[in-house]
Amino acid sequence: MTETKPKWNRRKDARPAEIIEAAVDVFIAHGFAAAKLSDVATRAGVVKGTLYRYFDTKEDLFRAVVQHVVATNLQAIEQAAQAFRGALAELVPVLLIRAAEGMGDGRVPALARMVIAESRAFPDLARIWHDNVVSRILGLLSGLIADAQARGEVRAGDPTAYAFSIVGPMVTGMLFHELFGAASPHAPNLVTLATQHAETVLRGLSVKSDTRRSDPSASR
């Protein structure tokens, strides 16, 4: 047993990923302000000082965390919807139910919560989230809606607002679970919500229906 255990080893390229991974957990668990860099370091199997070789400041590390998670979950979302060709009525239920299932792990909602929490202190953080997640999804969806309108499948109206009609309840439902857990008597079952809301909103969007409401002032 001459030289078995080195006190540590160099991992110039492996470290950043390990640190970010650890930081994700710590930030999600405690929020930005309450997260301690020493905790991050410990969890990464490293010492605090080491962090500063890879990240200049706590904020930098936080930004890296956000971008990491965003990038991770991005292609999945984008592929799922972008690869889709067909009637909106086919896509919406699939989209919502997939969302309901996919958010079960709590990684994305937790990060969304973080972003909501810290975006006032770091406005660029909101921008990252907006540009990479929200804007893409909304753009994609409202584009599909506009197409469906052109094909005469969907009633006249603002496509972006329609996009909110579609995804809003799911977003709210996820937030509800993230904040209040399943304990509340009003906690929605996400899959039920997705199924039922898809049905409901599609009935509302479709041109075929003819509910004859009192006010016939058409668009906008």
Partner DNA sequence: TTGATAAATGACTCGGGGGTCATTAGATTG
Partner DNA sequence: CAATCTAATGACCCCCGAGTCATTTATCAA
- Does residue number 149 form part of the binding site for a copy of itself (CB under 8 A)? no
List the one residue from 2, 10, 150, 185 that touches DNA (CB under 7 A): 10
Q: Are 179 and 158 in contact (CB under 8 A)?
A: no
The per-residue b/e assignment along 63-82, b for 16 or more CB within 10 angstroms, e otherwise, is bbbbebbbeebeeebeeebe
- Does residue number 17 form part of the binding site for a copy of itself (CB under 8 A)? no
Task: Report the candidate in 85, 15, 9, 12 with the shortest Cα–Cα distance to residue 44.
Answer: 15
> Which does residue 47 bind out of DNA, a copy of itself, none, counting CB within 5 to 8 angstroms by kind?
DNA
> Which does residue 46 bind out of a copy of itself, DNA, none, counting CB within 5 to 8 angstroms by kind?
DNA
Q: Are 62 and 122 in contact (CB under 8 A)?
A: yes
Q: Are 97 and 198 in contact (CB under 8 A)?
A: yes
Residue 213 makes CB contacts below 8 A (sequence gap 6+) with none
List the one residue from 17, 29, 31, 48 that touches DNA (CB under 7 A): 48
Query: How many residues lie near DNA (CB under 7 A)?
Result: 23
- Distance of closest approach, residue 72 Cβ to DNA, in angstroms: 23
CA within 13 Å, CB half, 111 = 24
Helix (H) or strand (E) holding 24: helix 15-30
- Does residue number 47 form part of the binding site for DNA (CB under 7 A)? yes
What mask of x and - would describe binding to a copy of itself in positions 152 to 171, judged by CB under 8 A? Answer: -----xx-xxxxxx-xxxxx
Query: How many residues lie near a copy of itself (CB under 8 A)?
Result: 68
- Does residue number 132 form part of the binding site for a copy of itself (CB under 8 A)? no
Select the span of 9-17, 55-63, 66-74, 138-146 touching a copy of itself (CB under 8 A). Answer: 138-146
**Contacts with DNA, residue ranges (CB under 7 A):** 6-12, 15, 35-38, 46-50, 52-53, 56-59
